[in-house]
A and B are shown apart, each in its own frame.
Chain A
Amino acid sequence: MANNPKSLVKNFATNLTDLAARFLDCDEREAVLGDLAESGRSELHNFCDVAGLVLRRQAVEWKDWRPWLIVPLLILPLGLFLSVVSRFTAQQTSVYLWLYANNPNWDLLHNRGFWYELGNATLLVFAVYLKLACWAWAAGFVIGSTTRKMWRSGSFALIGTLFASMVCASIYLPRYLEWVLRGRFPQNLPPHEDPVSQVFFYSSLLPIIVQLFIVAVPAISAMRHGHERFPSAFRYSMVLLSLLVVADMLLHNSILWIKLCGAYSMAPGMSVLHPGILSLAAYWPAAYLLLKNTRRQRRRLATG
């Protein structure tokens, strides 16, 4: 029975084993999962076996010099920056979400101006999150293409960085925010007593949801995509275009790494709608994925 607690645990362990096996090469995954199916041992035992093999493979990769160079110079900075940008974006968009979700006023439904503003806010929030997902995807693709031979270390490092920065956000973020704001308001720091950050969902849950689904999922999926085999010219073009998107992320969030003062230092995240060719071009991963999935669907329909 599907609701049986034993079968639920078994299914969970099977899923965990499959997830761990994803870190193995294609042929090895096939052989190992086949061997485990044949051995007839418990699912938990199988998971421990696969996790052990993944760890051994990981240890072998770290004998090479590449992970020691790529992880601290590329993965850690990009992962941390993405994490901070994701936090700030969640913080900025939460104001709009709070405004409409937590302050319902039924009288406003008859007001045309309200609908106009709601449309604008929805479009803005959607564009901001789409841009964040594109930044994460492009960063993941650059990392994936650079770490093809050491993809396990790369994946672990990226997942580890995103997870660690998510867990440690309550410690590093207030300090980071203070550092950023001191650049803008050297005399007096604004108080952190706004009504939005008083709501648990906006202060704690939304940043985690954003980081998990809008940053981690696209970044890791792009990383896997970056490991795939492509013709060289196509790969170089993709990496170059992804680097442009990463550059767009760094430029649009320059306030987070350069202490800008003055009127131009807009809030990070919201500035994604700032007009410009680079800003618009940075949406290309969304168009690329849409095109790729449409093609795949058509091929599936054609083959029946």
Chain B
Amino acid sequence: MVGEFEYLILTAAVQIREAAYGAAIRAKIEEATGKHCSIGALYTTLDRLEKKGLIKTHMGDPTPERGGRAKRLVQVTAAGARAAEDFYSAVMKVTRGISWQTIRNRS
């Protein structure tokens, strides 16, 4: 099973589709969570996901807006999609019947 941050990366990469790469995934995660996402956490997690076979990455062409530097493009594999789905279902299952708002109001 993937972890929470791995799930966020997989989901962000799927949403961005073909153009998924480091900076775009990072921006998407920061937008969703409202928290800073460090390059270190992002790239080490991308490596881990690639080792697990959940994503595939390759170097793209250099672009001028990046100072002529290439992107590391990310593509989610079928195994990655399955792992993300498993994580999502587990979260949904464990959350079923819970109303966080009620608990927050109670305390």
Contact = CB atoms under 8 A, between A and B. Distances in A.
Given A27-B72, A56-B44, A35 B39 contact: yes
5 shortest interchain CB distances as A-B pairs: A34-B69, A52-B40, A34-B66, A31-B72, A53-B40
Contacts of A60: 44
Given A30-B59, A49-B40, A55-B40, A38 B65 contact: yes
Given A28-B72, A50-B39, A34 B44 contact: no
Contacts of A31: 21-22, 43, 59, 69-72
Contacts of A27: 59, 70, 72
A32 B39 contact: yes
Interface string A31-46: 1111111110000000
Nearest to A52: B40
Contacts of B26: 35, 39
A34 B39 contact: no
Interface in B37-75: 38-41, 43-44, 59, 62-63, 65-67, 69-72
Contact of B23 (A35, A53, A54): A35
Interface of B: 21-23, 26-27, 38-41, 43-44, 59, 62-63, 65-67, 69-72
A57 interface: yes
A52 B27 CA distance: 18
B22 to A, nearest CB: 4
Contact of B40 (A37, A38, A39, A56): A56
Question: DSSP majority for the A interface?
Answer: helix
For the side of the interface on A, what is the size category? Answer: 20 to 34
Contacts of B66: 34-35, 37-38
A34 B40 contact: no
B38 A34 contact: no
Contacts of A34: 22-23, 62-63, 66-67, 69-71
B41 to A, nearest CB: 8
23 contacts: A27-B59, A28-B43, A30-B59, A30-B62, A31-B22, A32-B39, A34-B22, A34-B63, A34-B69, A34-B71, A35-B26, A35-B71, A37-B65, A37-B66, A37-B67, A38-B66, A52-B38, A53-B39, A53-B40, A56-B40, A56-B44, A57-B44, A60-B44
A55 B40 CA distance: 8
Given A35-B22, A54-B40, 18 more contacts: A27-B72, A30-B70, A31-B21, A31-B22, A31-B59, A31-B71, A34-B23, A34-B63, A34-B71, A37-B65, A37-B66, A39-B23, A49-B40, A52-B38, A52-B39, A52-B41, A53-B44, A56-B40
A52 B38 CA distance: 8
A280 to B, nearest CB: 46
Nearest to A38: B23
